[in-house]
Structure 1
Amino acid sequence: MAPKQLASSTLGSPSNTYFFTLAKAGQHFATIGSDDSLRFFDLPTVEITNEVKGAHSGLACLTAGADATTFVSAGRDGRVRVWDPRTAIKSPNLELIEPKSAGISAVACAGNFIAAGTESTKEGLGDVSVLIYDMRSPAQPIRSYAESHTDTITQLAWHPTQSNLLLSGSTDGLVSIFDANIPEEEDALMQVLNPRSAVHCAGFLTDDQVYTLSTDEQFSVYGLDKTGTTEEEPLPAHQFGDLREKLDCMYVINVAQQSFLPNPVVAFGHNVNQTLSLVPLQDPNWSIGSRVDLPGAHGEEVVRDILFVDAATTLTCGEDGHVRYWSLSPSDTAQQDESLAAPGLKKAKRNAKKGIERFAPY
């Protein structure tokens, strides 16, 4: 029995609205749309429970807060806002301001800290920054790294176990690894990776491996530099090349990583075939596992995001203006779990910079 769609909704959005990001905080779910609204909804009905119209001017980012109870949004208005879905949500709980009023294009949360990346609005080399805010003293960012990228920041991610390490990816084709304990950017920049094309998404696959996916669907896995110097750029541990050829797809959405998934999952779509598909990446060589197709997907429109609710169900949103809730059939789930957690392939933590203290700027 194939995966099936359990529910779908436009969440009361106007026609021609599309949704481009999903997030989960506790038992609450949210999405952001091209109409600058932040919408909250329930499962399994996908019914809207609350809406913040005009959450930002140019709403661009949404993620769950590190406390797993709040949502963090950001926009081209140069604001980062924290929302608590357990309240009436008439206004944000907290607002952070980009000092130069630059638009914000990426956010990531860890502990009391929010990282924000800015966008470039001019042709050629731009003036962009990676900023770090402490929510306990939010008036100004406590870190500003403004020399490492020259174009819009598209991705930020904190290391899963070493919370002082921050990854940034940019349309300038570079991925940077910072030690956020260090104020001076020249010293804080630990490693630079060069996928040689604009970065669509990037993140930590393991404690000592980073993946990059470019806007032309080139996928690579790099080892983190063990010496902590930017001069020793490591060769990619594995280069997949163009995933469109390997996966028979038109575009790659993202790489899903959640605690209940044994392995990372690549999500990709095909507009002509009207499918959304999922494959696990199996360590140690990151081979591609069994494929699961969600037929119909979002029709001929692009799927913009996917969020696993648990190992058996997932949410998607897209440019058709719908949020859709899917069930992976028991047989497919079992097959996927088997391929994700093949015997002997569970990875050990592999000595990525041991003993570095947690981020403590004071």
Structure 2
Amino acid sequence: MYPLNCVDGYRIPVREEVYVLDIIPLAAGPATISSDQKLSLFNPTSLKAGPQLNLLTRHGNITCAKAYDAGSAIVCTAGEDGSVSMWDLRQDARQAEVARLTDNQVSVLSLACSSAGFSVAAGTELQDHQASILVWDVRSTPIPKLHYKEVHSDDVTELNFHPNDHNILLSGSTDGLVNICDTRITDEDEVVIQTFNHDASIHHAGFLNDTEVYALSHDEKLALYDVAENHENGAATTDFGDMREVLGCQYIANVTAKSNGAGAVIGAGAHDQQAFQLIHLTKGQGWNLDRDSSVSLPGAHSSEIVRSFCFYDEAQTVFSAGEDGFIKAWKPNA
């Protein structure tokens, strides 16, 4: 394990407690959403200067955000009132909100975006015995083109489009299921083409590559599944179990797949030790945790939980955000 140095940082300057909820990596720099209902864009070389753009969202409580087009700095946000907004962060604050997708009043818990498919998907919490997945075509009306009501029986906590097929949508839920849906199919009885039962409430799930997915539960259990192979009952191909026991941590912030398909990075934290580390998940004969090449962020976000992290490989920089209201930049020793 080798440590990185904290080289830059910014804390939201308010008296009350504000969490930085998530980081969205864009070509222009890291964008964040925070519990003061802000969407902010930072200069990656000068966090301490504060946000280059600071936008007040209108979702009640903001819950999630995803990049629609990371290269063009277009981001979607959603929240408690059920609305989804699209923002062009190249515009000034008065013109940045370029679309508002409507026809949903139920709190949105998850988002997925595909610029290739001109699609934005939103997953809702369970209300009146129904949890929905809505899909909009951003070229047409603000009314959803698809509305699935029976894919999950509880809160839809995660959505992700397939990395190379914009018709395939992964969904995860507190019902314990990770479903693979083909959005070309409008018949709700046929739309789910594969189901994996993680047997625990899904916190995060996503594609590692074209055929393999990961699922991480709220009680920190991690397993991998194969979309291509016909495993009986959709059984896990690799089951790591409770990552708190495996890694000696207290929580997993997320699992981030590498864009080149060469594995993923697991962000594991222990707030009572003021520790956070990035552990590589690599694939050889099988999937393995590469503990020897793990990276630590000493001091992390003090005793507060790290909510999000991302890495800019070319700049050799890791960004982290936490419940202490900070976004921080980390680099190796020069």
Using the TM superposition, give the Cα deviation of residue 121 of structure 1 relative to its aligned residue in structure 2, in angstroms. Answer: 5.1
Q: Which amino acid aligns with 1:191?
A: Q
Could you tell me which residue of structure 1 aligns to residue 101 of structure 2?
96
Q: Is contact 2:262–2:282 with CA below 8 Å preserved after alignment?
A: no
Find the aligned partners of 1:41 and 1:15 in 2 and give their Cα distance. Answer: 22
Q: Is contact 1:39–1:51 with CA below 8 Å preserved after alignment?
A: yes
Task: Compute the TM-score of the two structures, normalised by the length of structure 2.
Answer: 0.91
Q: Is contact 1:174–1:193 with CA below 8 Å preserved after alignment?
A: yes
Change in CA separation of 1:328 and 1:255 when aligned onto 2, cut-off 3 Å: farther
Find the aligned partners of 2:203 and 2:308 in 1 and give their Cα distance. Answer: 13
Could you tell me which residue of structure 2 aligns to residue 116 of structure 1?
122
Using the TM superposition, give the Cα deviation of residue 235 of structure 1 relative to its aligned residue in structure 2, in angstroms. Answer: 1.7
Q: Which amino acid aligns with 1:105?
A: L
Find the aligned partners of 1:232 and 1:180 in 2 and give their Cα distance. Answer: 24
Could you tell me which residue of structure 2 aligns to residue 279 of structure 1?
279
Change in CA separation of 1:61 and 1:90 when aligned onto 2, cut-off 3 Å: same
SS of the equivalent of 1:219 reads strand
Q: Hey, which bits of structure 1, 4+ residues long, moved more than 3 A?
A: 11-15
Q: Structure 1 or 2: larger strand share?
A: 2
Where structure 1 has 5 or more consecutive residues not aligned to the other structure, the ranges are 331-362
Could you tell me which residue of structure 2 aligns to residue 79 of structure 1?
83
After TM superposition, list the pairs within 5 Å mapping 1:1-362 onto structure 2. Answer: 2-46=3-47, 47-66=50-69, 68-69=71-72, 70-91=74-95, 92-97=97-102, 99-110=103-114, 111=116, 112-120=118-126, 126-226=129-229, 233-259=233-259, 262-284=262-284, 285-289=286-290, 290=292, 291-310=294-313, 312-329=316-333
Q: Which amino acid aligns with 2:321?
A: C
SS of the equivalent of 2:246 reads helix
SS of the equivalent of 2:130 reads coil
Where structure 2 has 5 or more consecutive residues not aligned to the other structure, the ranges are none
After superposing the two structures, state which structure 1 stretch, 83-92 or 10-19, moved more.
10-19
Q: Which amino acid aligns with 1:113?
A: S
Q: Which amino acid aligns with 1:109?
A: C
SS of the equivalent of 2:190 reads helix
Find the aligned partners of 1:104 and 1:27 in 2 and give their Cα distance. Answer: 26
Q: Is contact 1:105–1:118 with CA below 8 Å preserved after alignment?
A: yes
Using the TM superposition, give the Cα deviation of residue 259 of structure 1 relative to its aligned residue in structure 2, in angstroms. Answer: 2.0
Change in CA separation of 1:177 and 1:277 when aligned onto 2, cut-off 3 Å: same
Find the aligned partners of 1:116 and 1:271 in 2 and give their Cα distance. Answer: 31
Change in CA separation of 1:141 and 1:232 when aligned onto 2, cut-off 3 Å: farther
Q: Is contact 1:12–1:48 with CA below 8 Å preserved after alignment?
A: no
Task: Compute the TM-score of the two structures, normalised by the length of structure 1.
Answer: 0.85
SS of the equivalent of 2:244 reads helix
Find the aligned partners of 2:70 and 2:53 in 1 and give their Cα distance. Answer: 21
Could you tell me which residue of structure 2 aligns to residue 358 of structure 1?
none
Using the TM superposition, give the Cα deviation of residue 176 of structure 1 relative to its aligned residue in structure 2, in angstroms. Answer: 0.8
